Chain A
């Protein structure tokens, strides 16, 4: 491997990771502004023009606050939990293709890597709840780990249905590669071929990210702060940073699996007529537009729907989504037998 190659890889990684962290700050701002819009308030408008510098002021504040570790907690695990959360959130971006030639790595097991890494996030939450040695934190950690693993099943099954579609429609032969999944959607997006799978996947993504209406982990009326009750200063901020990065990742993966990712509608008509750099830029913009829209949906849902009760949450996961996603899989497999 040439030195220039390593330099190029490093530059790509640094710009994507930097962009991701900045995007998380932007999403905090967007969340507060959209919430204000929905509740007819002004939202942050004091720090910088239209309050745009608010998230940076918040991060600065979090950094210079006292880091409180409860004296009865397990110190090392208490330190490890936020590290795992952020590590997992950042490394999930590895295989996301922002355009047909912009990605950190393009591996033939793309979707498996992405699912595997994102499901490690449950460790950060469970460990933080357990290590704090506080009852609120323990209950919050247990609740959200049970919730995350319950919804992962239906999520995994709806991904299988997308792979079935990829296997049928893609012109490439590595069906787990994220670019093949996008390639299979050049004529029709998967959301139209597999609408039930899309709804299941999106709902499970809400649950996986611990977002409302499934934010049982931090139901503040009953559990104070849930798993991060005993966290303060930037350790607390790290959990929030990873939550927002996870939200970005969930939106990005949903747009790749169901909305055609970076593919621009009717791209085949003009792709070879325009400058390749311009094409890449347009693809990145297309991808970010789809992702931002899904992020907006995440925020919109949070400020619209009330929180579920815990038994409702588990009932929906096990008694509705699991059988429904199995049925959806069988129906899609049966229909694909008849389509040539």
Chain B
């Protein structure tokens, strides 16, 4: 208590910060001193400091007052005091976007940057570039070119860095300075070389060939600056990634040669670049790992940390490659720096054998309390990886996790632990009971609402299916009694799920729910009343539809649709089918459960992509009246090679009875402009092309979009899968690459694209059914169809499961897409929605003889099941 008081006293004393109680108006008043003559440099510099402090504290300066202060400040240019002048540069930079007419100082700055005082020149360049916009750049271009090749390093560096900033607004102007930058790149000063290289790269980064040429040039001549080397390595590895290819390329040789550089920084950068290359083989990793191994015994803590952190990353993908370093890592376990020790242990956990786990766990628990939350999360992640690797060890690991769960810790840390436990429960059915009961204990004393609701949701989902479901009820009902409203609401939903699935528990659940009806909170009351009424009906279909499996529509979409409905009231009742479906399966989030911020975000992002498409399509007059957009294909398909004259990508949008193909075209020829671009489609099946919406004009490097509208066949449902041959037709107009002037006359031309496939999966949207059994029963027998297929080319169950999921484009429920080892039968449960909003459920039993045999039964709420049935011949193909 005493200590706390002292601290507070210290803070309120204000002795530490002389600027604490500054008032904007007072400071601006003081700034009038600038107008006086002669100038007092000390006083003025102090006032400028105050102004800068205010701006940096986020104080808002109005345009008029800022301009007034700015003009007063310009008068300080008559003083030759170096400190004051440099404060002026800072102020100019800070005020450049607040005050008006800041270009007034242009000539003064140009004078300083070409003057004799070297101390002024660099900062003057920076300030000048800050106040210059693209229209004024012409006037200072000459000075910039001179400054770039200046022999004073600070001036040259400043000019280069400023050019880099200018690149954003006036690319074409800065591009002309390449020769000067080239000259600066051969400078002896390490910073100048680094900055020059940076500018050169950014000017050329859109041109792969030029970048390659640049790298090979500099590798041949060698560089002075380690920073420049590091950057070259980054550029090279990015280049390699985009090329996604052969390791024989000179780029890779360059990175590898950097492993033998004399600067540690470069060596580390090269090693980390190799480690991060996708699809790196063990042989390529070896030199990088051995370099990192050397760093592990370095006397510098930073190097040790970097090395062990990188090794930790490698261990996730290639544990065997790191095994060689185990001895060095063992030494680091006792490192005085706890961060290094933690990373060393977690790396060892990933690479070590099953037998060493117990020892390592003991070691780490000895200093678990000393490390920060951030590293605790790393430990938890390592443990979760271990659980997947050695399922038999789950008892030890679970215990360790629960001790950690009981200790103090922040939200991120606790969430990592809960995530880990949940994934263990999902992976390993043996651990389910112990895991659930531990989690029950955790929510007894849990300060994080999000975690509590999440665990309650899990209990509701898994609890009823355990041997002794009644023991969870006490924990759940305790929450109803003790917690605040969000958790209470979650608990009520969990209770209802128990009631819906267990006949014998139903009466007691009803009693509990009746008590909740008197709750203080609206949401809790509403849920309780709703569930109570549904459960009292005692109908399985109702239970399945409204308690066990929730809404499958996207929440933002529903919100928008409802708002639209209230704005334009009509006689018709609101149709839930018109709402777009959630594009990502809602794994954790259910409409009934309390809002979970953590899981909500990704879902929202995914939903907006489809919404963007919907808005774009709605803006095209030809597409009016197609109804709501059902599904957009997740990734655009390339119809050309990536390096051709024209690059075309296609996105498919499915409506109830139509399909829109969106072609995103880019013209990569700078000497021509395309006009009236359309993509003609020739279907193989009964699809009918209705209209083409051309892209008006396609100048060089500016993407354009054209659409083709196709009617889906109504009578013949076999034609769901279809291949279109595509042809792009357009008018070419030649133009001057530099000026962009176009010829008046154009000529017709066409360009053959690759074929476009429409598959069954395009018509089906994935939907998550949390409780598949219940949903299956809800549909009933009358819509069920059953057929048997032989999948002759498929050798394993995993392959079969993967292919079926991909072909149907449906969502695998209850983790049935994971095939347990050493079994030759498997049941795959799939759920989806067919366009038009018809639910489809598929249960396929797979049997592995010599080839996989599949017996598939589908149930759906689609009145005529023929589509589902007709679709099957497709399976024989694979």
A binds B: no
CB within 8 Å of A: which residues of B? none
Q: Which chain A residues have a beta carbon within 8 Å of chain B's beta carbons?
A: none
